[in-house]
Amino acid sequence: MAIRDLDELRLAVIGIGYVGLPLLVEFAKKREIVGYDVSKSRVRSLQQGRDENGEVKSIPQNIKKNIHFTDSEDDLSDANTYIITVPTPVDDFRKPDLSFVIAATKTVAKFINTGDLIIYESTVYPGVTEQVCAPIIEKISGKKYLIADEDDRGFYLGYSPERLSPGDTSKGVADIVKVTSGSTPKIANLIDSLYASISNVGTYKSPSISVAEAAKVIENTQRDVNIAFMNELSIIFNEIGIDTQEVIKAAQTKWNFLPFSPGLVGGHCIGVDPYYLAHLGIQKGHRPDILLAARNVNESMGKRIVDRVTQLMIQKGIGFPGANILILGLTFKENCKDTRNSKVFEIIREFTKLRCNINVFDPFVGSSSQEKVCPAKIIDELGDEKYDAIVLTVAHTYFKDMGIDALKTIAKKPSVIYDVKSIFPRHSVDGRL
């Protein structure tokens, strides 16, 4: 069977989360599409027009009518092109957890017909699409994975990494260059046209699936390494009593300096993807020491911040246990409600060990949320309570707008205000990274 034309493609997106939903919406501007998720409650919310993740504000009716949200596998049977957008987290031992990708692959494999196409968007290490997923599909479907245009009795694969930046509403799916790839030259062209049809800024056709897989995983790892290096600097500079932000400001006057800043690295991308690359390196006999050292520093920052705040508190004569702590910000990133893998949880855990009373306030996370911060307490407004220490962990615009003076009214005398992200002027707070 020959490769299909663009308008013959009948699309289904598997996994309607942070990545899948915006993609569904873009495609639905042009064509009908199926959106499948295993979560009944997620599908029900979406059918009712609500996105609990807050990534998509509201779906206009003329677009929504093109999307068939479903939790029923059977609704996938009409599709011939499947786009897999499920998460790829790490397990407790920081090893890649491919279980969602494998589960989605198995689901799709049941419906594969000759000439069908499966495109992965999940972040993986190079080789996963062709060496992990292809054999699963071959086994379940009984069809052959095709890597040459001359051969057309089987199925095709593609990889096109998602590059979304949660909370950054200025960069939607259509505003980010989409890297594409396919298992044969013709299918690569077809996949490229498919994504080009929804992009305002174009696509980049990668020479192979593994190059596209590699490109994605190095983007976030590079960012992780650079932030980690700034954290490493801040550890040294803190020891010698110089302010890291002042050093960065001076260095930034050089034309090629890269203005990264120290901070917590959480979330489901930057703090996770490097482990995928490390996993591959170790398998191939090369332990990637730079990126693992970077991960190690970034994983340690929560504890380091608590150590510094505690030190400052004790220096000011504030007693433990029983100190009253306010944590401002719970999400992994500013101006977004995503708390996945937020390193603020680490800060809460460390203060808990010091038997502090901890309140957490985040304008994006209400007390009715299901976040597990016990014995700390999520509060919905700041109220009259006074604190021995206030730790600003996330640079929400909300906190900037609130201003340092407002914070000082709820700080005891003495108290410590620690500004992890340097939101406020240096001398208005007691410490920062």
The binder of a copy of itself chosen from 176, 196, 402, 410 (CB under 8 A): 176
Q: Do 156 and 147 touch, CB atoms closer than 8 A?
A: no
For 149, the token pair is: 């245009």
Q: Which has the closest alpha carbon to 394: 338, 313, 312, 311? A: 338
Count of C-beta atoms within a 10 Å radius of residue 273: 27
The whole-angstrom separation of Cα 365 and Cα 149 is 51
Number of residues that bind a copy of itself (CB under 8 A): 61
The binder of a copy of itself chosen from 39, 296, 367, 397 (CB under 8 A): 296
Q: Which residues in the 206-235 window bind a copy of itself by CB under 8 A? A: 206-208, 210-212, 214-216, 218-219, 221-223, 225-226, 228-229, 232-233, 235
Name the residue with tokens 């979406």.
Answer: 46
Q: Which has the closest alpha carbon to 7: 209, 190, 185? A: 190
Residue 404, C-beta contacts closer than 8 angstroms, at least 6 positions apart: 417, 424, 425, 428, 429
Residue 146, C-beta contacts closer than 8 angstroms, at least 6 positions apart: 152, 153, 154, 155, 156, 183, 184, 187
Name the residue with tokens 């013959």.
Answer: 8
The whole-angstrom separation of Cα 101 and Cα 27 is 22
Stretch that binds a copy of itself, among 7-15, 30-38, 174-182, 307-315 (CB under 8 A): 174-182
List residues bridging with 379 in a β-sheet. Answer: 361
Q: Residues 252-271 vs a copy of itself: string with x where CB under 8 A?
A: -xxxxxx-------------
374 is known as an active-site residue: no
Cβ-based burial of 54 (10 A; exposed 0-12, middle 13-18, buried ≥19): middle
In the complex, what is the shortest distance from the CB of residue 407 to a copy of itself, in angstroms, rounded to a whole number? 25
Q: Based on the shown chain and the rule CB under 8 A, indicate whether residue 239 belongs to the binding site for a copy of itself.
A: yes
Stretch that binds a copy of itself, among 2-10, 26-34, 201-209, 351-359 (CB under 8 A): 201-209
Q: Which residues in the 316-375 window bind a copy of itself by CB under 8 A? A: none
Residue 407, C-beta contacts closer than 8 angstroms, at least 6 positions apart: 328, 390, 392, 417
Which of these is catalytic: 269, 336, 356, 374? Answer: 269
Which residue lies nearer to a copy of itself by CB, 138 or 219?
219
The whole-angstrom separation of Cα 199 and Cα 174 is 4
Reported residue count of the chain is 433
The binder of a copy of itself chosen from 1, 6, 148, 250 (CB under 8 A): 250
N-to-C CA span, the chain? 60
In the complex, what is the shortest distance from the CB of residue 428 to a copy of itself, in angstroms, rounded to a whole number? 16
The whole-angstrom separation of Cα 321 and Cα 318 is 10
Which residue lies nearer to a copy of itself by CB, 206 or 339?
206
The whole-angstrom separation of Cα 90 and Cα 108 is 23
Q: Based on the shown chain and the rule CB under 8 A, indicate whether residue 126 belongs to the binding site for a copy of itself.
A: yes
The binder of a copy of itself chosen from 293, 379, 402, 410 (CB under 8 A): 293
Q: Residues 153-172 vs a copy of itself: string with x where CB under 8 A?
A: ----------x-------x-
Which residue lies nearer to a copy of itself by CB, 154 or 271?
271
Q: Residues 76-115 vs a copy of itself: string with x where CB under 8 A?
A: ----------------------------------------
Q: Based on the shown chain and the rule CB under 8 A, indicate whether residue 127 belongs to the binding site for a copy of itself.
A: yes
The binder of a copy of itself chosen from 1, 6, 148, 242 (CB under 8 A): 242
In the complex, what is the shortest distance from the CB of residue 274 to a copy of itself, in angstroms, rounded to a whole number? 10
Which residue lies nearer to a copy of itself by CB, 6 or 290?
290
> Interface residues with a copy of itself (CB under 8 A)?
126-127, 163, 171, 176-177, 179, 204, 206-208, 210-212, 214-216, 218-219, 221-223, 225-226, 228-229, 232-233, 235-237, 239-240, 242-243, 246-248, 250-251, 253-258, 277, 280-281, 284-286, 288-294, 296-297
Residues with a catalytic annotation lie at 269
